[in-house]
Chains A and B, each alone.
Chain A
């Protein structure tokens, strides 16, 4: 029971991060029908930028987080302008390959600037684990985990509100729905796409800062980009609530698989594969994910 609870709580924490990064996928897919395979590199970049502010420049941690979010937003704008703009209206495979190329470029630039040695953030949170509840339902959580969960939830709520109420959010939803109609209503789809990439880079940047805080920064962090794809697909590529729900489902599933199945397989590794195997099953039953919009084709 204790193990189960511990795994579920860990799953929720990791899941909130997954939800954040998956949100980046969903945003970009919704507004331009593209999957951004460089999402993991955005995350890694966010982690390193955060490290520059919090580590080298000694900025207070909260301010450092805000600054790195701003920097990540700027990077997103820049990338959209330089790389993605020429691909508006091109077939999906071209755009996917372009984001693959982009991921290679960002990764090699990051390695050139910061090297490949693992780094860690200056300690902000206490190492002492916090005990939630007592007795048979005892669960230990580290402070960093709790803050991660809180930050993710705050950002998720803020983004949901942004999409529902702000004029930019509504414009983004409109151009996601139908680019032509949005254009004719006077919405600059180009600008919307730029903001989308900015926000997508920002949410994965926050994921990067938080992950870096929990586990330190290594280049392997960029693999989160691919790890989170099942989350986005599971929820449905074009559904924001889907990304959030998918994040928690995959987070918990992964930790349960890691806790219960890994010891059965010599060498382990089930934790990494379980989300993908689950994904294949889900796709066979619900091809557009749990909440994705079904595309009905008429001839």
Chain B
């Protein structure tokens, strides 16, 4: 039995098994479970307004983790993830409203359909790299946008599609709090899967592709297969997020899934931290909370400076843009790194190393 107050110090791992472990001390493990318990208790502590924010954070976290798997871990840029989210939303919505499939089947189905579409648009990655691939994914975004608007028999087009909240044992999850348990559970599952993915052969192959694709291929990683797999997996996450977003806002409209959403998702992982699962969550939280904070600030300021409130949307865009650039210049590893720095500071206090 280890001394419970012992600090973590040095790396004394002697087996690969220990090195790959998610928690290196029992305290870290306990802390994680405590955090999860607190997350489940939050709605009863904070009321439904904060819970609605948490819901959005949970949903966007799933999409951001997905994009981070593709961009942060596998190194393939996608400017089309908003559209993949849309595919998941429309596919699951179509199954639920037109065929009466329950949410619990429709949501994974939506994810799988999004994964299929993502894999198809990932096919160019066999021959394209870097910027050319990014533009191919932009083309995917534009083409899918067009499909959402024009394929009215399935998507409802500009008239949008209304979807019901999911039900469990006959009870609809129609309050913010009940929906939160669903969103949180799904976010935790997807987060856990992503964290564990990078302890496996597949995950390591993806990281190898990011670091040096030629070297990876020499080591026996089938580039094409893994790149398409990364696209599919990442689109699956986006699709599930979309399938959750639809029932949450009760209406699915093509306008939700434009290039702007894709850009916001990219901004989330940049601000949160590329190649970090927790970073995706921080980034999602940042992007959800920022507009609310800006609008609060503008309402407050408009008491003193008339007319500020009207320019709210512009202010929001301005702050977004500035935040992205500042993060890129000052802390390219994002909020995840900032958080780690803070933790290290307190752990090592009063010394700096």
Contacts and interface: CB of A to CB of B under 8 A. Distances in A.
Contacts of B323: 101
A147 interface: no
Given A267-B149, A269-B146, A297-B214, A104 B318 contact: yes
A104 B124 contact: no
Interface stretch (B34-42, B129-137, B176-184, B222-230): B129-137
Among A92, A102, A108, A283, max chain B CB count under 10 A is at A108
Contacts of B215: 299
A152 interface: no
Contacts of A233: 132, 135
A6 B305 CA distance: 53
B32 to A, nearest CB: 30
Nearest to A285: B127
B128 A280 contact: no
Given A101-B320, A279-B139, A283-B136, A112 B314 contact: yes
B58 interface: no
Contacts of A33: 131
Contact of A101 (B135, B150, B152, B324): B324
Interface stretch (B47-55, B87-95, B239-247, B263-271): B263-271
Contact of B150 (A93, A104, A265, A299): A265
A93 to B, nearest CB: 5
Interface in B59-87: 71, 77
B150 A97 contact: no
Given A108-B314, A108-B321, A297-B214, A97 B128 contact: no
Contact of A98 (B139, B152, B325): B325
Contacts of A66: none
Contacts of B123: 284
Interface residues of B, number: 45
B130 A100 contact: no
A229 B131 CA distance: 11
Contact of B325 (A101, A266, A297): A101
Contact of A105 (B124, B134, B311, B321): B321
A97 B322 CA distance: 11
A268 to B, nearest CB: 9
B214 A229 contact: no
A29 B135 CA distance: 13
Interface stretch (A136-144, A164-172, A270-278): A270-278
Interface stretch (A47-55, A82-90, A245-253): A82-90
A264 B211 CA distance: 47
B132 A276 contact: no
Given A97-B270, A276-B139, A283-B124, A288 B314 contact: no
A100 B266 contact: yes
Contacts of A35: 131, 134-135
Nearest to A107: B317
Given A104-B317, A276-B143, A267 B127 contact: no
Contact of A86 (B130, B136, B329): B329
Given A87-B328, A93-B71, A297-B214, A273 B143 contact: yes
A9 interface: no
B74 to A, nearest CB: 12
A111 interface: yes
A97 B138 contact: no
B208 to A, nearest CB: 14
A93 B71 CA distance: 9
A112 B316 CA distance: 12
Contact of B318 (A87, A105, A229, A276): A105
A96 interface: yes
B43 to A, nearest CB: 33
Contacts of B139: 230, 276-277, 279-280, 283
Contacts of B263: 100
A94 B136 contact: no
Contact of A226 (B138, B317, B318): B138
6 contacts: A96-B131, A97-B328, A98-B328, A101-B320, A101-B325, A276-B143
Given A229-B138, A272-B146, A284-B124, 19 more contacts: A33-B131, A35-B131, A93-B71, A97-B267, A98-B324, A100-B267, A101-B321, A101-B323, A104-B320, A104-B321, A108-B314, A226-B138, A237-B131, A266-B150, A276-B139, A277-B143, A283-B139, A284-B127, A287-B132
